[in-house]
Amino acid sequence: MQTAIATVCLSGDLAEKLEAIAAAGFKGVEIFENDLLTFNGTNHEVRQRMADLGLTPIAFQPFRDYEGWDEARRTRALARAERKFDAMAELGCDLLMVCSNVSPEASGGVERAADDFRALGERARQRGFRVAFEALAWGRHINDYRDSWEVVRRADHPNVGVVLDSFHICAKRTDLRAIRSIPGDRIFLVQIADAPWLDMDIMQWSRHFRCFPGQGDLPIEDFMSALGATGYDGPLSLEIFNDQFRAGSSRGIAVDGRRSLIYMVDKMIERGGSALQRGSERLPPQSTCRGVEFVEFAVDEKAGAALGKMFSGMGFAKTGTHVSKDVSRWTQGGINLVINAEKDGFAHAYQISHGTSVCAIGLKVDNAAATLDRAERLLDKPFRQPVGPGELEIPAVRGLGGSLLYFIDQSSELGRVWDIEFKPTGEVSAAALAGAGLTGIDHISQSMQYEEMLSWLLFYSSLLVVEKTRELDIADPGGLVRSQVIQTADGALRIPLNGSQSARTQSSRFLSEFFGSGVQHIAFNSDDLVATMQRLVANGIKMLPIPENYYDDLEARGDLTPERIDLYRANNILYDRDEHGEYLQAYSQSFEELFFFEFVERRGYKGFGAVNAPIRLAAQARLARHPAVPSR
């Protein structure tokens, strides 16, 4: 299968775009005319650059407002087309993409449009070119692929074919079945774009919110299945207009594009294959995550002592020390936290650039080696560092902000990592292990630049069997925070991704304090949050004070008895419920303004307390301004 990407997807000038596209491993490129107009060089130079990079121009686009004109305007439109053909000759590109006329002055009529395309096709044939017709979802007369195909069918010219663009087709929920009856050799170009379902003007939606397959909600797999039935074996080209992509790094976005296609094609093979997947190999299956084996913090000596003290207060016991390194293991219930105070190696480098922070997360999977293999084939970046004597090489890839994602399984030696690499401290009684009643990790919340959110969504969802929730906007005193969760169906792994466009939100302040994206908070489960809170406060853990008004409002809602509200008020506990059950949550104050911990009691509830997030964010903002306010 030939994969391609339109230059319009990426930021930068044409030279940067072409380099990023080639570096990500694409062989084909759609040249967006505007990128040529702003390029400081000739078309011949662009052609040479593409050749040097091993790229083939698969289409030149767009040619707008062509069909349905009166005779005088048709003559002018054909003259305009000849100038595009001149540019294509210079570029070495043989396909012109024509999109349907949006002018209110154009006339309709399939037969008339077919005549126009027969004329254009003949001009193209004389110069050795082809033209492909795309129905824009907002075209004046032609806005449905079934009509653009009918125009192409009636034009009946070998140099005229149809374009299928998954956005224009799926966004209008057009029946996909008719795709199956288009002969594959009459389809000259397939453009792939996904998008989140948004209730908005379709043109604005298309121009700002398209995304790579796997990042949105459109039925791309159904589209691909229908396409598979046509026998089409031409290029699949990503055509994405997205503000986040335009603000992102062209190299990173190009890699995301390739990753999305590799992931999509693999799913298609799984669904039964077709001409499109010829020559493509299956990836190892998406990995099922069984939970979080550990979370590792990079610290210096001073922060290490303070963090250890905080862990103790939260009921964790120091159960192990590393056989050869300044690394300790802290345990409670099913939770393992690791404090890494080494003076060299990855964690140290991470600590230098980010300060005290989560530098790695270990995920429990069924097959760690296969997970790494899949990750590498999806162009994720593997991580290796020299291992000391007696240490295990734990498979890992780079995750958010350059942190590590380790893979641990029970079927290899990795399952015994604690026994192999750590000496028990011996000081820990069974009672101490029960600690403050924390049983497991409920979720790990990651903050990032808004522009990065789609990248990490794709990173997690292409590698692991996870579902994504709808995007939510959460009000922070400093602006809106966009939030989307990736999680396994059983909740073994839950990762809320938070991105902020305003520099004044808590999420953004975290990014600037922390020098980049990373883990902002970790939530632990408790079966009895009130008892846990009492234990934590007795141990000297400072909790986030929740304002009185919140509890007045809770009273007004009338869901809870006054006794329960008093209990929650006394323990700074926030409350929510959904159709599945109740949710109690409380927050620690932050560790050196860097990250914080959340404690939750999940009684069947499926969400993350989004209604309470503004209360929490405001309380944190207040505390940051007045740190002397005592904790209740």
- List interacting residues with Mg ion (CB under 5 A): 165, 191, 239, 523, 598
Q: Whole-number minimum distance, CB 171 to Mg ion, in Å?
A: 11
Between 356 and 445, CB nearer to Mg ion: 445
Between 6 and 338, CB nearer to Mg ion: 6
Q: Whole-number minimum distance, CB 62 to Mg ion, in Å?
A: 8
| Residue with token string 């060299």 | 344
Q: Which residues neighbour 352 within 8 Å (Cβ) at sequence distance 6 or greater? A: none
Q: Whole-number minimum distance, CB 601 to Mg ion, in Å?
A: 13
Q: Whole-number minimum distance, CB 234 to Mg ion, in Å?
A: 15
Between 144 and 598, CB nearer to Mg ion: 598
Between 106 and 164, CB nearer to Mg ion: 164
Residue nearest Mg ion by beta-carbon distance: 165
Short-list 132, 166, 137, 126, CA closest to 149: 132
Can you list the alpha helix ranges (DSSP code H) found in 27-165? 33-37, 43-52, 71-91, 110-126, 145-155
Q: Whole-number minimum distance, CB 198 to Mg ion, in Å?
A: 18
Q: Are 35 and 59 in contact (CB under 8 A)?
A: no
Between 116 and 239, CB nearer to Mg ion: 239
Q: Are 413 and 420 in contact (CB under 8 A)?
A: yes
Q: Whole-number minimum distance, CB 375 to Mg ion, in Å?
A: 26
Strands (E), 477-573: 479-487, 494-500, 518-526
Q: Whole-number minimum distance, CB 102 to Mg ion, in Å?
A: 13
Q: Whole-number minimum distance, CB 97 to Mg ion, in Å?
A: 7
Q: Whole-number minimum distance, CB 509 to Mg ion, in Å?
A: 17
Q: Are 56 and 28 in contact (CB under 8 A)?
A: yes
Element (H, E) at 441: strand 438-449
Between 261 and 414, CB nearer to Mg ion: 261
Between 256 and 598, CB nearer to Mg ion: 598
Between 145 and 407, CB nearer to Mg ion: 145
Between 417 and 586, CB nearer to Mg ion: 586
Q: Whole-number minimum distance, CB 324 to Mg ion, in Å?
A: 36
User: What is the maximum span of the chain, computed from C-alpha positions, in angstroms?
Assistant: 92
Between 191 and 455, CB nearer to Mg ion: 191
Q: What is the distance between the alpha carbons of residues 276 and 273, in angstroms, rounded to a whole number?
A: 7
3-class state of residue 148 by DSSP? helix
Q: What angle do CA 487, 493, 494 make, to 5 degrees?
A: 50
Amino acid at 617: L
Between 65 and 239, CB nearer to Mg ion: 239
Strands (E), 130-178: 130-134, 160-165
Q: Whole-number minimum distance, CB 429 to Mg ion, in Å?
A: 31
Q: What does each C-alpha distance from 116 to 78, 120, 403 come to in angstroms?
A: 9, 6, 56
Short-list 239, 250, 356, CA closest to 297: 356
Between 239 and 576, CB nearer to Mg ion: 239
Q: What angle do CA 196, 462, 14 make, to 5 degrees?
A: 70
Q: Whole-number minimum distance, CB 383 to Mg ion, in Å?
A: 27
Between 135 and 254, CB nearer to Mg ion: 135
Q: What burial class does residue 419 get, using C-beta atoms within 10 Å of its C-beta: 0-12 exposed, 13-18 middle, 19+ buried? A: exposed
3-class state of residue 235 by DSSP? coil
Q: Whole-number minimum distance, CB 353 to Mg ion, in Å?
A: 25
Q: What does each C-alpha distance from 480 to 133, 242, 474, 550 come to in angstroms?
A: 40, 19, 6, 20
Q: Whole-number minimum distance, CB 309 to Mg ion, in Å?
A: 23
Q: What is the distance between the alpha carbons of residues 443 and 445, in angstroms, rounded to a whole number?
A: 6
Between 24 and 99, CB nearer to Mg ion: 99
Q: Which bin fits 246, alpha (ψ -120 to 50), beta or left (φ > 0)?
A: alpha
Q: Burial code of 117-143, b = ≥16 C-beta within 10 A, e = fewer?
A: bbbbbebbeeeebbbbbbbbbebbbbb
Backbone φ, ψ for residue 133 (5° rounding): -110, 125
Q: What is the distance between the alpha carbons of residues 351 and 244, in angstroms, rounded to a whole number?
A: 29
Between 371 and 585, CB nearer to Mg ion: 585
Q: Whole-number minimum distance, CB 521 to Mg ion, in Å?
A: 6
Q: What is the distance between the alpha carbons of residues 498 and 484, in angstroms, rounded to a whole number?
A: 7
Quickly list DSSP for 13-49.
-HHHHHHHHHHTT--EEEEEHHHHHT-SS-HHHHHHH
Q: What does each C-alpha distance from 340 to 297, 298, 329, 393, 437 come to in angstroms?
A: 6, 5, 9, 17, 25
